[in-house]
Amino acid sequence: MRLLEYQAKTLFAEYGIPIPKGLTSTDIEQGRKDAAVLGFPFVIKAQMSVGGRGKAGAIQKCQNADEFELKYPEIMQKVVKGEKTKAILLEKMADIKKELYLSLFLNRGKRCYTIIASAEGGVEIESVKNQIIREIGLGDVDTKTAEEVAKSMGLKDKSITDFVNILQKLSKITTEKEAELAEINPLALLGDGSLVALDGKVIIDDNAMFRHDELRRFQEVSELEERAEKSGFSLVELDGNIAVVGNGAGLVMSSLDMLSDNGGKPACFLDVGGGATTDTVYEALTLISNMKKVKGILVNLYGGIVKTTTVATAFIKAYENKILDVPVFARMSGAEADKSKEMLKGSRTKLFDTVEEAINAAVIEVNRNG
Amino acid sequence: MVDLFEILIGKESDKDYKKKPVIIQGITGKFGSFHTQQMLAYGTNIVAGVTPGKGGQKLEQVPIYNSVKDAVAATGAKISVVFVPAKFFLDSAVEALEAGIKLLIAIPEHVPVRDSLKTIELAKKKDAIVIGPNTPGIIIPGVIKIGIMPATPFKPGSIAVLSRSGTLMYEVSHNLTIANFGQSICLGIGGDPINGTPVIDAFERIRNGANIEGVVVVGEIGGDAEEMLAQHIIDTKFDKPVVAYIAGRAAPKEKRMGHAGAIIYGTYGSAESKVSMYAKANVPVAKRPAEVSMLLAGKLDIKGRIK
């Protein structure tokens, strides 16, 4: 789960990491009240889970009430890299002397937590120069390590004390809230030598959410995603018109790749999990039927232990109950494939021996029907 | 360092050569009991199950114990397959490692990464191997099946398959089998961001296996396991054929594609990055699973001789 900036900053504030004064709203009426409390000037920041907001005009300075009336609705309407604005943060501007970078992240290759810090922040991590990197095991940072990092960054006096404090608190967030990433970029060095978190990005380990009820308030899932999760499925919505369903994340990704290679446009990624039963496949078809853009469904199931007939039953049931009104192109390997073909004769589900054949048929038919 | 093949098969002089005892943690659950039957049917020597509070009972003639310690004391098993729900995984893993298990197959999906990190730390101290979490397990066709993979895709041979995905491991192995490339070992790395045995470690453990003529690595987007392996192949001058597959070329950035570990941030974890590193290591990457056996056939004849 990726927290929005204001949510990450709520955590920062709870743990005592300094942030600028700010208020969050989702409509302009509340926004006006927030503006009155804060007083001009301030920054209007779109809250969305994507980088590059500044360049896209989703973060703008605001000097007075006239500007506010223009810019607030404009930023509320912004879409950056497909992400819509979910809320607006109004934030007081700081007297920035320098922008630094600081993050703690789960280092997959080294299998430990790692600090990255730099005296040259404010740009995307890939472009951050002179990175100071420290591996820190399970994520705890002692004072000595924190001081060493601060000194390597060239910080002095009060800035060192502030930095050590911030780094140790960021480490506490990482370990206690089970974050995969906790990033402050930029971490602003102010005129008086103090440090303030101007932005915040925190990604929580989804698999650890069962022991973090206190973070549920930040969780925002679409109705479809919620239904998918309840059924034990993984669903990612995409832009195209052919839904892609299969058992196993790798197999579904692989089907997505082959469909795209052949000129098809995936409407979603839907992994029903390792097994496949009549019920799971039926539930998957029901979920997809809620997606208006879907013009065809590609199903790729590796049977193995599962009999294909149990899956064929689900297709027949879905048409009988009028859940489905689009064609299905299915590849099912496994036992009783011939019997399944017999069962599905005359239905709108076509069975294929290889996924390549199923994809070809799907692309041709869906493109023909527009 | 403990030898993976020695734990799995043993030495020819061993009384239980190719019949190493295995215990099942969570044997009475729906999933655990079903797969226990499947493994027994394959010939895996399952000697005990563990479910707290059900000690003294039996499942398919397999005696059940209250703790791993009791099961190990009674059977001497060094291998355990864990089927408990993700939230109880850490406790089960710690119990197994403390009881002397040397090869822990961690089946559950959705284990928090922090719990995986703690398990790995303990396994290092105990000189034990952890496979997974979120793995289908390991199969040595014709000898031992410890995991949830179906038996049908596999046949004995001399190709090692390492896979970050379960169903793709079955799919690719099935294709290899049809093309007459049997497998010496198929090992599921697991779909999580943190693996008990990452791709590069798995490669190290199998590369000198007695019966390995070629290696197939089934990868996916996310992380840098493929990049690290490619560099490792170059650095160690591995001279047997390696063929790869990578799923997720069409996946969008910053979206988790089913597996917790299958996510691209910026260029980190992208398919392009992996393909270009493999190219440097002279490892061809198949465009689709069925192409793996064709690429391998370009490098090996079916008797396993390098062309």
In tens, the pLDDT along B27-44 reads 999 999 999 999 999 999
Same domain? For A45 and A134 the reply is no
The whole-number pLDDT of residue B210 equals 81
Catalytic residue list contains A183 = yes
For the record, the structure tokens of A57 come out as: 């005009």
Determine, yes or no, domain membership for B205: yes
Asked if residue B172 belongs to a domain, the reply is yes
CA-nearest of B121, B127, B44 to B90 is: B121
Residue A370 banded pLDDT, cuts 50, 70, 90: low
Domain hosting residue A84, numbered range = 21-91
A250/B111 touch (CB, cutoff 8 Å), yes or no = no
What pLDDT sits at residue B149? 94
Per-residue confidence (pLDDT) for residue B300, from 0 to 100: 85
- The one catalytic residue in A99, A178, A183, A283 is A183
Domain of B84, CATH number, reads 3.40.50.720
| The pair of three-digit structure tokens given for residue A94, joined into one six-digit string | 């700081």
Same domain for A331 and A207?
A: no
A5 occurs within a structural domain: no
Cβ of A257 and B258 within 8 Å?
no
Quick one: A249 and A347 in the same domain? Answer: yes
- On whether residue A102 sits in a domain, the answer given is yes
Q: Looking at the complex, report in whole angstroms how far the Cα of residue A146 sits from the nearest Cα belonging to chain B.
A: 22
Confidence (pLDDT) at A306: 67
DSSP SS3 for A138? coil
A320: distance to nearest CA of chain B, Å?
Answer: 30
Looking at the complex, report in whole angstroms how far the Cα of residue B111 sits from the nearest Cα belonging to chain A: 6
Same domain flag for A193 and A138: yes
Indicate which residue of A6, A72, A101, A113 is catalytic.
A101
CB contact under 8 A, B191 and A250: yes
CATH number, residue A251: 3.40.50.261
Check CB contact under 8 Å for A138 and B252. no
Residues in chain B with CB shorter than 8 Å from the CB of A333 are 171, 174
Q: What angle do CA A243, A249, A252 make, to 5 degrees?
A: 35
Domain boundary among A196, A216, A236: A216
Query: For residue A274, what pLDDT band results from cuts at 50, 70 and 90?
Result: low
Cβ–Cβ under 8 Å, residues B102 and B129: yes
In a domain, A13, yes or no: no
pLDDT of B227 reads 97
Dihedral pair phi/psi, residue B7, rounded to 5°: -70, -40
Question: CA–CA separation, B114 vs A136, rounded Å?
Answer: 13
Q: Tell me which residue has tokens 């310690």.
A: B69
* Residue B170 shares a structural domain with residue B111: no
The residue from A216, A246, A281 where one domain ends is A216
Asked if B289 contacts A285 with a C-beta cutoff of 8 angstroms, the reply is no
Query: Could you say which of B117, B164, B223 has the minimum Cβ distance to residue A109?
Result: B223
CB-based contact B167 A274, cutoff 8 Å: yes
Strands B183-188 and B156-163 come out as parallel
Of A213, A202, A112, the residue nearest B113 (C-alpha): A112
Cβ–Cβ gap B174/A333 under 8 Å: yes
- Which of B87, B144, B131, B202 has the alpha carbon at shortest distance from A211? B87
Least trusted range by pLDDT, from A88-102, A277-291, B140-154, B249-263: A277-291
Are residue B162 and residue B261 in the same domain, yes or no? yes
Residue A4 lies inside a defined structural domain of this protein: no
Q: Are residues B157 and B263 in the same domain?
A: yes
Helices A5-15 and A157-176 pack at an angle, to 10 degrees, of: 110
Residues 8-37 of A with CB under 8 A from B: none
Rounded distance, CA B24 to CA A9, Å?
Answer: 45
Task: Evaluate whether residue A250 is within a structural domain.
Answer: yes
User: What distance lies between CA B112 and its chain's CA centroid?
Assistant: 19
CB contact under 8 A, A253 and B251: yes
Report the percentage of chain A scoring pLDDT > 90.
72
Sites in chain B below the pLDDT cut of 70:
302-304
CATH code: domain of residue B216: 3.40.50.261
Do B157 and B106 fall within a single domain?
A: no
CB B233 within 8 A of CB B245: no
Residue A360 with chain B: CB contacts under 8 Å: none
Q: Does A221 touch chain B (CB under 8 A)?
A: no
Most B CBs within 10 A among A205, A215, A238, A354, hence the mutation to make, goes to A205
A249 & A210 share domain: no
**Number of Cβ within a 10 Å radius of residue A57:** 13
Residue A345 to residue A341: CA distance in whole angstroms: 6
CA distances from B304 to A7, A252, B144, B175, B298 (A): 57, 31, 22, 16, 12
Facing residue for A111 by CB, picked from B117, B150, B261: B117
The answer to whether B79 and B22 have CB atoms below 8 angstroms apart is yes
Chain B residues near residue A210 by CB distance under 8 angstroms = 87
Asked whether residue B136 is domain-assigned, the answer is: no
Cβ-nearest to A106 among B148, B193, B256 = B193
A85 and A127 in a common domain: no
Task: Look at B258 and A269 and tell me if their CB atoms are within 8 Å.
Answer: yes
Mutual angle of helices A278-289 and A308-320, in 10-degree steps = 40
Sheet hosting strand A59-62, strand order edge to edge: A22-25, A87-91, A42-47, A59-62
* B46 belongs to a structural domain: yes
| A2 falls within a domain | no
Answer with the one of B71, B100, B131 that is the final residue of a domain. B131
Cβ of B256 within 8 Å of Cβ of A108? The answer is no
The pLDDT tens digits of the residues spanning A339-367 come to 888 888 888 889 898 999 999 999 999 98
Domain count, chain B: 2
CA B251 to chain centre: 24
Query: Which residue in the set A49, A238, A302 is minimally distant from B171, CB to CB?
Result: A302
Q: What is the largest CA-CA distance in chain B?
A: 57
Contact by Cβ (8 Å): B246, B275: yes
φ and ψ of B143, to 5 deg: -120, -60
Contact list, A126 vs chain B (CB under 8 Å): 266-267
pLDDT value at residue A341: 83
* Of the partner residues B153, B254, B262, the one whose CB lies closest to the CB of residue A253: B262
Chain A residue with CA closest to B114: the answer is A178
User: For A118-162, what is each residue's pLDDT tens digit?
Assistant: 999 888 888 888 999 999 999 999 999 999 999 999 999 999 999
The answer to whether residue A369 scores a pLDDT higher than 90 is no
Distance to chain A for B76, nearest Cα, Å: 31
B149: nearest CA partner in chain A: A304
For chain A, the farthest-separated pair of C-alpha atoms sits apart, in whole angstroms, at: 80
Q: Give the span between the Cα atoms of B5 and B185, in whole angstroms.
A: 9
Residues A104 and A211 in one domain: yes
Q: Is B167 exposed, middle or buried (0-12, 13-18, 19+ CB in 10 A)?
A: buried
* Beta strands per DSSP E along B12-101: 22-25, 46-50, 58-59, 62-65, 79-82
- Does residue B146 fall inside a structural domain? no
Q: What number is the ipTM of this complex?
A: 0.94
- C-alpha B258/C-alpha B255 separation (Å) is 9
With contacts defined as CB-CB under 8 Å, which chain A residues touch B153?
304
How is residue B180 written in tokens? 């007459």
Q: Given this model, what pLDDT does residue B302 score?
A: 63
The beta-carbon neighbor of A271 closest among B117, B258, B287 is B258
CA pair distance A162, B210, nearest whole angstrom: 58
Q: Show the DSSP H helices in chain A as ranges.
A: 5-15, 28-38, 65-76, 143-152, 157-176, 223-230, 249-261, 278-289, 308-320, 337-343, 355-368
Residue B71 lies in a domain: yes
**Tokens (6 digits) for A97:** 């002397």
For A2, the 3-state DSSP assignment is strand
> Do residues B126 and B161 share a domain?
no
The CATH number given to whatever domain includes residue A176 is 3.30.470.20
Q: Which helix (DSSP H) or strand (DSSP E) does residue B279 occupy?
A: helix B271-280
Q: Do A106 and B248 count as a contact with CB atoms less than 8 A apart?
A: no
Cβ–Cβ contact A252 with B under 8 A: yes
Span A16-74, pLDDT tens digits: 999 999 999 999 999 999 999 999 999 999 999 888 898 999 999 999 999 999 999 99
Q: Which of A126, A175, A250 sits opposite B167 (nearest CB)?
A: A250
A333, part of any domain: yes
Looking at residue A327, its pLDDT comes to 93
Closest-approach residue (CA) in chain A for B200: A109
Decide which of B71, B96, B131 is a domain's last residue: B131
Residues in chain B closer than 8 A to A137 (CB atoms) = 121
Q: Identify whether B305 is part of a domain.
A: no
Q: Using DSSP bridges, classify how beta strands B46-50 and B22-25 pair: parallel, antiparallel or unpaired.
A: parallel
> Based on the domain organization, do B177 and B96 belong to the same domain?
no
The residue that leads in pLDDT, A310 or A243, is: A243
Q: Residue B39 is inside which H or E element, if any?
A: helix B30-42
Residue B14: phi, psi to the nearest 5? Answer: -65, 145
The CA distance from B233 to A195, in Å, is 45
How many DSSP H helices and E strands does chain B contain?
10, 14
Chosen from A113, A234, A254 to mutate, greatest number of chain B CBs within 10 A: A254
Q: Is residue B289 part of a domain?
A: yes
Q: How many domains does chain A have?
A: 3
Note whether A233 and A168 are same-domain residues.
no
Nearest chain A residue (CA) to B252: A238
Last residue of a domain, one of A174, A199, A216: A216
Which residue from B153, B193, B262 is facing A304, i.e. has the nearest CB? B153
Q: Kindly list the distances between the CA atom of residue A163 and the CA atoms of A17, A101, A194, B187, B195, in Å, as whole numbers in the listed order.
A: 10, 11, 9, 45, 33
Say whether both A205 and A259 belong to one domain. Answer: no
Domain identity same for B177 and B110:
no
Give the residue numbers spanning the domain of B43.
4-131
Which has the closest alpha carbon to A329: A309, A299, A291? Answer: A299
**Dihedral Cα B284, B290, B296, B301, nearest 10 deg:** -160
- A208 to chain B: closest CA residue: B112
Does the distance separating the beta carbons of B194 and A138 come in below 8 Å? no
SS3 B84: coil
Residue contacts between A and B (CB atoms, under 8 Å): 158
Indicate the residue among B99, B131, B163 that finishes a domain.
B131
Whether residue A228 is found in the same domain as residue A355: yes
Mean pLDDT of the residues in chain A: 92
Q: Which pLDDT tens digit goes with each residue over A212-266?
A: 999 999 988 778 888 888 888 999 999 999 999 998 999 999 999 999 999 999 9
Q: Tell me, yes or no, whether A210 and A260 share the same domain.
A: no
Q: Are residues B17 and B117 in the same domain?
A: yes
Contact between B224 and A108 using a beta-carbon 8 Å cutoff: yes
Q: Taking the model in full, what pTM does it have?
A: 0.94
Say which CATH number the domain at A84 has: 3.30.1490.20
H or E stretch covering B93: helix B89-98
The answer to the question of residue A10 being in a domain is no
How far off is chain A from B242, nearest CA to CA, in Å?
A: 20
Chain B residues within 8 A of A354 when measuring between CB atoms: 290
Distance CA A50, CA A92 (A): 22
The reply to whether A143 and A244 lie within a common domain is no
CA distance A223 to A210: 19
